[in-house]
Structure 1
């Protein structure tokens, strides 16, 4: 993969410190450090097979500051977010009832230290942090609890997928929402794959698994 991440590397028998030009400028305070991630997404075949449709593909940039070698420095990171939705028949109506998101975030490691605020978070902690940003057509999801964990083969390795159950509102009635999420590192990026659907649509759980297992990173083409 092509990654413009510049890092501070220690190596050699004598522990020689090697600095790339970009990282040296960052540590000395001459410039900000820039990190880029590669896009992750389910395959076109899996999207077609499961009946989902691409809703949006965006590359966003966030700017932060962090301490490196005792010095506060600025950095920016670009991350990819690909979102897919599916219309399903639910409570007698056709609704955009299921969603799948694939997100890639650069590792952002300098001098052996991660500047990624999401690094080392569990799936539950990650979900709790962003739950206020996860919306359904019926509003926010609340009262989220962990239900089970299982493994899927994704990008050549077994990955832990956690299933959570939350509550939302539909036409004045409380409904259960199932959220499946897996987070792991691959080729220098942190990947987040998340599926969201009404719990009663049990067949959609299998479709989410198909999308997760098909994930490509970096996306070719």
Structure 2
């Protein structure tokens, strides 16, 4: 999948030229950055009884200006999704979803030029809600519940939990949605999970899936 939009209004050419790793942005009109795939470990899937659903590579083109000259950054991202069937309101259905996204951080002298880095947890959910949709219809009107700390890939991060309602098989179900983000080995990692709020164990499972994320680092 590809899409194109304005990324930054302007980036000082001197800043880019000072970074050897980003010299290609100054000397070329197109630069490519590739993320490494992030996924949930087999042990994490076994512990939570989730199943791998799909893994896709997503290519995004971003345009900005360097010294008044147009430049294009092409970023290759990875999105892995997982699912779990649960008994909800008397029916067995795919009711829990989890997704982990890896996208290049694109750092220049310590500054990250990737819009994901500037997004709040609620904005991240809005951007990646399609990865959670599955059987759900809706996922609007998110209400903040709480935050907690978890250790993911050796980093202590904040995990935010939101509450919302969605339609599932024609019935309204209250959901908990969890989200976190971190930087690891040159990539930004986003993890999101959703499940019926009434199933307390699935909340613990969402945290376990986050703790079980594996990632080797990007280019």
TM-score range, shorter chain: 0.7 to 0.9
Provide the C-alpha distance between the structure 1 equivalents of 2:99 and 2:169, rounded to a whole number of angstroms: 25
- CA deviation string 1:94-118 (max 9, x = no partner): 1011011011010123465533122
Provide the C-alpha distance between the structure 2 equivalents of 1:25 and 1:210, rounded to a whole number of angstroms: 40
Specify the SS of the correspondent of 1:144. Answer: strand
Specify the SS of the correspondent of 1:200. Answer: coil
Indicate conservation of the 8 Å contact 1:132/1:140, yes or no: no
Partner of 1:117: 115
**RMSD value, Cα:** 2.4
Indicate conservation of the 8 Å contact 1:68/1:110, yes or no: no
- CA deviation string 1:186-217 (max 9, x = no partner): 11111001111111111111111111111111
Specify the SS of the correspondent of 1:49. Answer: helix
Q: Which moves more between the two structures, 147-156 or 168-177? A: 168-177
Change (3 A) 1:53 1:93: same
- CA deviation string 1:29-48 (max 9, x = no partner): x3410001111111101101
Provide the C-alpha distance between the structure 2 equivalents of 1:82 and 1:206, rounded to a whole number of angstroms: 20
Provide the C-alpha distance between the structure 1 equivalents of 2:83 and 2:131, rounded to a whole number of angstroms: 16
Partner of 1:158: 156
Provide the C-alpha distance between the structure 2 equivalents of 1:69 and 1:110, rounded to a whole number of angstroms: 16
Indicate conservation of the 8 Å contact 1:166/1:176, yes or no: yes
- CA deviation string 1:131-165 (max 9, x = no partner): 46642414121211110000111111211000001
Provide the C-alpha distance between the structure 2 equivalents of 1:124 and 1:217, rounded to a whole number of angstroms: 24
Indicate conservation of the 8 Å contact 2:157/2:182, yes or no: yes
Report the TM-score when normalising by structure 2.
Answer: 0.83
Provide the C-alpha distance between the structure 1 equivalents of 2:40 and 2:64, rounded to a whole number of angstroms: 33
Provide the C-alpha distance between the structure 1 equivalents of 2:19 and 2:139, rounded to a whole number of angstroms: 48
2:92 pairs with 1:94? yes
Partner of 2:66: 68
**Structure with greater Cα Rg:** 1
Indicate conservation of the 8 Å contact 2:53/2:83, yes or no: yes
Provide the C-alpha distance between the structure 2 equivalents of 1:47 and 1:37, rounded to a whole number of angstroms: 23
Return the offset for 1:166.
0.9
Report the TM-score when normalising by structure 1.
Answer: 0.83
Indicate conservation of the 8 Å contact 2:39/2:213, yes or no: yes
- Counterpart among 174, 178, 188 of residue 190 in structure 1: 188
Provide the C-alpha distance between the structure 2 equivalents of 1:25 and 1:103, rounded to a whole number of angstroms: 26
Partner of 1:205: 203
Q: Which moves more between the two structures, 194-203 or 119-128? A: 119-128
Partner of 1:3: none
2:188 pairs with 1:180? no
Return the offset for 1:172.
4.5
Indicate conservation of the 8 Å contact 2:19/2:109, yes or no: no
- Counterpart among 39, 42, 53 of residue 41 in structure 1: 39
